[in-house]
Structure 1
Amino acid sequence: MTRPTRATQAPAAPPTPVIPAIPRDQVLSRLAALQTAPAAELKAQWRALFGKEPPPFNRPYLVSRLSYRVQELAYGGLKPETRARLEALGEQLDGGNVVLRRIRADSRPLPGTRLIREHAGVQHVVTVRADDFEYEGRPYQSLSAIARHITGTRWNGWTFFGLKGRQGV
């Protein structure tokens, strides 16, 4: 005796969310409303405009991405040629290395930035250059080397110059 077989069905894929078009005459009012919207409302709008759960990032991030998305849905996004060009430029920079893509390119201060630190009553000025740092007319490969020169002890250079833990540097 054989058992009857059941037809197996593949699990249904989740429905593709319908992203609403935004009329152009509503863009300014929606952008203004984002600035004062509570976090719960920002997250609800994220779900409606992106069709997925919002990331666990801070309010300014959510507001900036939602602002871009509102404008994108009203006026259109990047042209395919622009996207392709940006992707090609990214490939040139990181050679397709996914790990490099995840490292922030702006983790180092811009060349020309002057870092000023007072230590033992003396003001010390370091200039950030493209590939190194300049202190007292000499090149140094790291801020830690400069901090060691100034203090005579081992320091984390980023900490010594007040850069560690700051956003945007």
Structure 2
Amino acid sequence: MTKPDPIPARLAALKTTPTPELKKQWRELFETEPPSFNRRYLESRLAYRIQELAYGGLKPETVKRLEALGEQLDGGNITLRRIRADRDRPIVGTRLIREWQGVQHVVTVTAGGFEWQGRPYQSLSAVARQITGTRWNGWTFFGLKNHRRSA
């Protein structure tokens, strides 16, 4: 008779594990300091890592396919990525308004990035991080993700 797989129980336990213990597990599994992301991020990355170590990571052909898809997207050309990002950026002068925890935040699109509370930022994600104290995709935080033009 084979022993039951302990991995599903270990994954389920992550939901009730205290955050300091999650950070301890992070140090053990990744051999780095845990990021200051939210708890759900820690849980999901730990769950992936536990499974990766127990069952193996992505198959080499999957990694090659992902790399090929990335090359199709931009040919490894960072300039092309920037052009796409500039094309998708709202028009200079546009004001993005988001209420967060009862406070209205206004971000202005500038030629070089974004401005919030009189300070320049290169990305919306950096602004969202300042507002929330956690990492957010700025496009999602400001409600632009679904309105961006497709590539």
Provide TM-score, normalisation by structure 1: 0.47
Give the letter for the 1:159 counterpart.
I
Alignment of 1:71 onto 2:9: no
1:159 and 2:97 matched? yes
Contact 1:24-1:74 at 8 Å conserved across structures:
no
Amino acid at match of 1:86: L
Contact 1:46 / 1:54 at 8 angstroms: preserved in 2? yes
Report Cα offsets for 1:63-83 as digits up to 9, x if no partner. Answer: 100011111122211101110
- What does 1:19-168 correspond to in 2, within 5 Å? 25-97=5-77, 142=90, 156=95, 158-159=96-97, 165=128, 167=136
Q: Please report how far the alpha carbon of residue 94 of structure 1 lies from its aligned counterpart in structure 2 after TM superposition.
A: 2.9
- Over the residues paired in the alignment, what is the CA RMSD in angstroms? 3.8
State the one-letter code of the partner of 1:46: W
Q: Which amino acid aligns with 1:56?
A: S
Task: Find the aligned partners of 2:65 and 2:43 in 1 and give their Cα distance.
Answer: 27
The SS at the match of 1:52 is coil
Could you say which structure has the larger radius of gyration? 1
Q: Which runs of 5+ in 2 are unaligned?
A: 108-127, 141-151
**Distance in structure 2 (CA, Å) of the matches to 1:63 and 1:100:** 34
Return 5+ residue gaps in structure 1 as ranges: 1-22, 108-130, 133-140, 146-153
C-alpha separation in 2, matches of 1:56 and 1:81: 33
User: How many angstroms apart in 1 are the aligned matches of 2:80 and 2:5?
Assistant: 41
Going from structure 1 to structure 2, the CA distance change for 1:68 and 1:98 (only over 3 Å counts) comes to farther
Query: How far did residue 61 of structure 1 move?
Result: 0.7
Residue in structure 2 matched with residue 13 of structure 1 by the alignment: none
Instruction: Give the Cα separation in 1 of the matches to 2:68 and 2:58.
Output: 15
What is the TM-score with the length of structure 2 in the denominator? Answer: 0.52
Percent identical among aligned pairs is 55
Per-residue deviation at 1:30?
Answer: 0.8
Query: In the alignment, which residue of structure 2 is the partner of 1:16?
Result: none
Q: Give the C-alpha shift of residue 85 in structure 1.
A: 1.1
